[in-house]
Amino acid sequence: MASASVSSSTISNPLPVRSPSISSESTRFLSQPNEINNILSEIDADIYLSSLKIKNCEYIVLDKYVPYNDFIIKHDSEEKIKFVIYPSKRNGYEVRTVLGRKEFPKEWTNLSEKEFYNEYKVNGVLYCHSNRKLCITSSVESAIKVVELT
């Protein structure tokens, strides 16, 4: 198969080749795939959270984890939402406080599942972190009961 080649002497006045204009900001994003993924995740989260019918209550229940802080900052200026509940990657459900608006009671941090049940009659409260911003429960029902206790 023959190939064609053109030498620089064949073209008398070659036109300069211009690449499309890419801003330095765009170049920075192109070199940072994690930043692109983060932005896309935030957009997906905003679409997902906007589709929920969030009532005037202290908590929202998600069927999957999505980055929610920016959405709550934008859409909950009255700071009514105090907790977000979503499935944990490990097992059960995570109950997280939102933006330091509330904390779980200090005495919860040392309780076992059985002790929590004996004291508060709520099954399935597996763990409360010492920072008082995270509880792990075995079910969404238990997570909602935990929120209602605070």
Q: Which two tokens stand for residue 119?
A: 């004291």
Residue type (1 letter), 21: S
| Whether 98 contacts 81, CB under 8 Å | yes
Strand partners, 87: 93
9 by Cβ neighbours in 10 Å (0-12 / 13-18 / 19+) ranks as exposed
Tens digit of pLDDT per residue, the chain (150 long)? 333 333 334 344 444 444 455 455 555 555 566 777 777 777 776 776 666 666 668 898 988 888 888 888 888 888 889 999 999 998 899 999 999 899 999 999 989 999 999 999 999 999 999 999 999 999 999 999 999 998
Q: Is the pTM of this model over 0.85?
A: no
C-alpha 121: how far from its chain's center? Answer: 31
- What pLDDT was estimated at residue 75? 81
Q: What percent of the chain has pLDDT over 70?
A: 70
Beta strands in 7-140 (DSSP E): 59-61, 83-87, 93-97, 125-128, 134-137
